[in-house]
Every structure is written in C-alpha cells, then in structure tokens.
C-alpha cells in the first residue's frame, strides 16, 4: 500500500496495489507538465486507487481528447492522468508518493525530445541537502 499527497497536502491518495511500467518520460509534454527534465510515471489499477482526502481540490486539464491530467487546484501538483481508451488504468506521477516504493523504473523514454541540458551520464557531485555554496552558517 502506498500513500501520498500534493505539495499543499489538500489532496491525499492511496494505492492498494503495485505500480507497473515505471518510466522516466522525457517527452516535451511531460517536461512542460512537470517543469523539469523528465517526469517519472507508473501505471496503477484504477480500482486500487483512492483519493482519501481533497477530491474536491482536484481539477482537470484535457490536452488531447479523452486524456485528462488531474492536479491540485491550489498548489498545482500533478497527481494522475486518466485515459478514456483504457479506463482500468491510471498513470500516477510517482513524485506524489510519500511511501517508499518497491518497484523500479524500467526505462528512459522519448530520449529524442529530452532537454538539451540534461546529461543522464553526468558525474555531478551529490549532496544530502543543499550544495555547499547554499549551506547556511
């Protein structure tokens, strides 16, 4: 079982099952929707997903006919996407989850449209918190 919430905490969700087909999507639509280099998405069974709080705080954006993106109307956090052609599955934005997940990503997709500044093989320094130049003394 997985639990998660949007940035402001108004929308809370629960997943009572596994997450399938996790990918890092680099398509221009996911980049624009996430505001970052890629979005990490996984599919979940619709009947295993519930909004435990704040369903009235969700709003929907329909970019393509039958495809809906559901997000918090207050903080803008993307929560999930639905597709009328496959109503049994939802595409969950994994960043919404607070629980550690067992499943792992299987691929980076749409690499042909990845951000030109994204270098997946970069050996950048890694820090537990802010980089040293931003540490408060």
Q: What is the pLDDT of residues 79-130, one digit of tens each?
A: 999 999 999 999 999 999 999 999 999 999 999 999 999 988 777 787 788 7
In a domain? residue 50 = yes
What was the pLDDT predicted at 55? 97
- Provide the 3-class DSSP secondary structure of residue 84: coil
Range of the domain at 98: 2-114
In a domain? residue 129 = no
**Residue whose C-alpha is closest to residue 33's, from 122, 95, 89:** 95
Residue 52 to residues 3, 9, 118, 127, 137: CA-CA distances in angstroms?
9, 11, 36, 34, 41
In a domain? residue 15 = yes
- Spatial distance between the Cα atoms of 25 and 33, rounded to a whole number of angstroms: 11
In a domain? residue 13 = yes
In a domain? residue 125 = no
Q: Kindly report the CATH number assigned to the domain that includes residue 25.
A: 2.170.150.70
In a domain? residue 49 = yes
Report how many domains make up the chain.
1
Confidence of residue 137 (pLDDT cuts 50, 70, 90): low
């Amino acid at each position: 079982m997985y639990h998660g919430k949007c940035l402001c905490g108004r929308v809370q969700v629960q997943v009572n099952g596994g997450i399938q087909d996790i990918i890092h999507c680099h398509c221009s639509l996911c980049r624009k929707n996430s505001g970052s280099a890629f979005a990490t998405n996984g599919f979940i069974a619709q009947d295993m997903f519930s909004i435990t709080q704040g369903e009235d705080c969700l709003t929907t954006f329909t970019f393509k006919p039958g495809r809906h993106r559901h997000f918090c109307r207050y903080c803008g956090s993307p929560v999930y996407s639905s597709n009328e052609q496959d109503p049994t599955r939802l595409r969950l934005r994994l960043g919404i989850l607070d629980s550690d997940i067992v499943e792992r990503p299987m691929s980076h997709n749409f690499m042909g449209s990845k951000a030109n500044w994204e270098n997946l093989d970069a050996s950048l320094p890694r820090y537990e918190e802010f980089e040293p130049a931003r540490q408060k003394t």
